[in-house]
A and B are shown apart, each in its own frame.
Chain A
Amino acid sequence: MSASIEIENASVSYFMRKVGTSDKASEKGSVGAQIVVGKRYLEIAALRNISLSLKTGDRVGLIGINGSGKSTLLKVCAGALAIQSGSIEIKGMVSPQFALGSGIKPNLSGRRNTELKCLYMGTPQSKIAAATEEVKELSGLGGYFELPIRSYSAGMRSRLVMSLMRLVRGDILIMDEWISAADASVNKTVSKLQSDLIESSSILIMASHSQRILEDWTTTLLWLDRGEIKAMGPVADVYADYKKWMNTKA
């Protein structure tokens, strides 16, 4: 099945309940989307009139300053946020990769957590044992794989979390920044996992600030500013414009 994302004239807002000093929230800053102070809620207009058409083979990078709407767009594509107006149609299985450790149970061992992830990801029961061994191998945790996660150091935990990427399957891959491990020894493995994941996906949408990452993995760059598309085109051209714009702002 071919994957596709069709977004037409979509606008997305976050809503936050008003609290004491919320009336001052409409003050304009140098970053972030416009905040509209309503009667009961603050409306943060995170994306406005976005139109985007992606099909199998597309590799799209997202750039923009903080609060420009990159994460919002990723979350809309992942189904974590809804649009308020316009339309969105997604065909294919979406695999979001922006909160990798969510759902990890600290009381369970690395093995049990891996089995759980397998079950969530729909790995057939007959293949769970093999997939779990594969994750164990990748993580390099050895005997720690059998211990509760709460006994892991931060680095060990991130090794496991990243190795769990092995279980991810999806037609549409959504990444918020290239994932790098602090530990150089595991970085190569993680990079390989991400490369495999990207290559096997039909569509990639990746937010990043790194020109190298964007040039390596994406062919089209979408520049967002205050929730609107400022430019979209070949990575080199759009990134050059973005850099120039950033220099004028500095």
Chain B
Amino acid sequence: MNLWHQIRPFLSKFVRFMHISYLEAKSNYQGTRLGLLWLPVSTLLFTGMLALVFRHSDAMTITEFFLYVLSGYILWQFIQASIITSTDIVQRQLEFAIHNNLTLAGLFGKLLMDRLFEYGINLALLVAVIVLLSPGNVDLNLALFIPFVAIIVPTSLAVSYLVNAVTIFFPDLSTLVKTGTRFMFFASPVFWVATDRTDIRTLLVQYNPVSYYMDITRQVFGILPLQPASWISSALVSLGLCVAGYITFVYSQNFVRNIK
């Protein structure tokens, strides 16, 4: 009972911000027949195209490859949103936040909720497709979803603040960040299979941290076998990013508000 009283305000805030994210996301599709359904539909269409065009491994059936790409692309969208929508948050949205009872940290939290809302919709799609196409994938590994979320949520928040801070201090990096993110899409195992690696892919899988996150999301949904090394690597990368994000926040939160 006591625990319930402690978590209730957080749950209530969570529901409130999810409702806000829902209304705001809906506004982006205002006037369309499908409305918010365009979110999973566009994911599905793009994944289908990727899976058809880039299928290059006979080791995987078309269904397996489709699930491989879908799980990767859904996480990629979350990663991409964490980076490219974070380039000018303080300068563009702080005043709006202040008028809506949000602090600087609250603003980043609210934007994280927006990303999680869209990610949640796409995850529902992934689960539905898995249940439909490959129900055997749903097993005990699904319990890893909790540590997975515990890894990606603070990482997304930290990356968002870091990107914002860096682009405030070095505005030229804003374009570079956007271009780099596009490059990272191709350099990450979203639509290519790490086991089919050529030399360059070996390097990419080893040194591109995104590949560890891709691995663990696929392990959660039974698309790849469990590999503790990927979890350790992604947890370490996340820890580093979170520490860097926290330190940057502590030392820059005052200054960034006063840069015009």
Is B135 engaged at the interface, CB distance under 8 Å to the other chain?
A: no
Contact in complex: A80, B98 (CB < 8 Å): yes
Instruction: Kindly list chain A residues whose C-beta atoms are within 8 Å of the C-beta of B26.
Output: 108, 112
Contact in complex: A112, B23 (CB < 8 Å): yes
Contact in complex: A103, B30 (CB < 8 Å): no
- The total of chain A residues at the interface (CB under 8 A) is 34
CB under 8 Å from chain A, chain B span 90-115 = 94-96, 98-104
B10-49 interface bits toward A, Cβ cutoff 8 Å, 1 = contact, 0 = none: 0000011101100110111011000000000000000000
Contact in complex: B23, A103 (CB < 8 Å): no
Contact in complex: B260, A14 (CB < 8 Å): yes
Instruction: Kindly list chain A residues whose C-beta atoms are within 8 Å of the C-beta of B15.
Output: 125
- New A-B pairs, 13, CB < 8 Å, besides A14-B260, A79-B104, A96-B99: A41-B259, A81-B258, A84-B254, A84-B258, A93-B101, A96-B98, A107-B30, A108-B23, A119-B17, A119-B20, A120-B20, A121-B100, A125-B19
Inter-chain CA distance A12–B171, complex, in Å, is 23
Complex A-B: 26 CB contacts under 8 Å: A14-B259, A15-B255, A15-B260, A16-B259, A16-B260, A41-B259, A81-B257, A82-B254, A82-B257, A84-B258, A96-B98, A97-B99, A99-B99, A102-B95, A103-B100, A105-B27, A107-B28, A108-B27, A116-B23, A119-B16, A119-B19, A120-B20, A120-B101, A120-B102, A125-B15, A148-B30
CB under 8 Å from chain A, chain B span 150-189 = 171
Is A192 engaged at the interface, CB distance under 8 Å to the other chain?
A: no
Instruction: Kindly list chain B residues whose C-beta atoms are within 8 Å of the C-beta of A16.
Output: 259-260
Instruction: Kindly list chain A residues whose C-beta atoms are within 8 Å of the C-beta of B258.
Output: 12-15, 81-82, 84
B224-260 interface bits toward A, Cβ cutoff 8 Å, 1 = contact, 0 = none: 0000000000000000000000000000011101111
- The total of chain B residues at the interface (CB under 8 A) is 30
- In this complex, what residue of B is CB-closest to A16? B260
A-B pairs with beta carbons under 8 A, tally: 81
Contact in complex: B103, A79 (CB < 8 Å): yes
Identify which of B31, B95, B99, B102 gathers the most chain A CB atoms within 10 Å of its CB. Answer: B99
Inter-chain CA distance A125–B27, complex, in Å, is 20
Is A17 engaged at the interface, CB distance under 8 Å to the other chain?
A: yes
Contact of B95 (CB < 8 Å), options: A80, A84, A107: A80
Instruction: Kindly list chain A residues whose C-beta atoms are within 8 Å of the C-beta of B17.
Output: 119
Inter-chain CA distance A13–B253, complex, in Å, is 14
Is A78 engaged at the interface, CB distance under 8 Å to the other chain?
A: yes
Closest 8 pairs between A and B when the two form their complex, measured CB to CB: A82-B254, A120-B100, A107-B30, A102-B96, A103-B96, A107-B27, A108-B27, A105-B27
Closest chain B CB from A72 CB (angstroms):
10
